[in-house]
Amino acid sequence: MKLPNLFDVLNRQNFTGEKWTYHTGKDQIDFLLVSKPLFDSITEVQIERRCIFRRGNIAFPEVTNHITEASDHACVWATFAI
């Protein structure tokens, strides 16, 4: 998919780690797309996976099974210096 004026925050150099956002741990299917000025102003970017119940994933203490998980998708978030 080509979106010439939108940028995936997970492509920012200060993001390190795996890019999976779905509970299978294989795919990035959730995106936070921003304009070039916002992309250039990113100070922090992360994926919040503690709401997902998955073997090997560190979850919030309340997440003990698929019923108590918030979602099977992780949240992509970023902080911007604006």
pLDDT at residue 22, rounded to an integer: 93
Domain range list for the chain? 1-82
Task: For residues 73 and 23, give the distance between their C-alpha atoms in angstroms, rounded to a whole number.
Answer: 6
Instruction: Report the chain (82 residues): mean pLDDT per 10 consecutive residues.
Output: 85 90 92 96 95 93 94 95 92
pLDDT at residue 4, rounded to an integer: 82
Check if the beta carbon of residue 70 is closer than 8 Å to that of residue 55.
Answer: no
pLDDT at residue 13, rounded to an integer: 86
Within 1-82, where are the H helices?
A: 36-40
The encoded tokens of residue 68 equal 């108590």
Within 23-77, where are the H helices?
A: 36-40
